[in-house]
Amino acid sequence: MYGWRGYSVDPHAVHAANKITLFAESCGDTVGTMSLCLDNDEIGLPADENFRDKLDELRAARRRLCEPSRLAIEHGVSKRVFASMIHISYIYAHNIHGYTDYVIEVNPRHVMFYKRMLGFSDFGGMRQCTRVGAPAVLLRLDLAYMGEQIRKFGGMMEQIPSERSFYPYFSRPGTSRASPAA
């Protein structure tokens, strides 16, 4: 999808050592992918390339940063696919590894979507993203806030028509536990 949009993307990016990639399948076809980069002293995050000064402010405040990136969902795929991928990345980053904040670089035309649907806020203004050759805005989301929204709305789907975020499409807390080993 990134190539289709005309963005240049290096498939051999330096951030492989601190990254997991999630994908969603339907009937054997991949319908969604996203990467989650975890900040560390050696590698940092992809957003450091364009917003290091802003990320260093958060690091100085002892925030633990991670960066969802390269999110691509096929058109026509259920909202639950997007919500599930974000929810799994939240569990991995926050609940398992103790990260405190998502930071994302997004094209300016996607800013309102991330603010409205997940609660991101502006954090770094607009700059040129050197990795894809397009403008980018840095957004931030406190993962404690995300946890509150998941506990409040998770699993509610269409039961709350006034709620416009993606949080009702997240799993209800406590429903995705692994079965005990036999």
- 102-118 pLDDT, tens digit per residue, is 999 999 999 999 999 99
Q: Is the pLDDT of residue 129 over 70?
A: yes
CB 168 within 8 A of CB 159: yes
Question: Which band of pLDDT confidence, cut at 50, 70 and 90, is reported for residue 97?
Answer: very high
> For residue 8, what pLDDT band results from cuts at 50, 70 and 90?
very low
Spatial separation of the C-alpha atoms in residues 128 and 81, rounded to whole Å: 30
Q: How far apart are CA 13 and CA 122, in angstroms?
A: 26
Looking at domain 14-169, its CATH architecture is 3-Layer(aba) Sandwich (3.40)
83 pLDDT more than 60 = yes
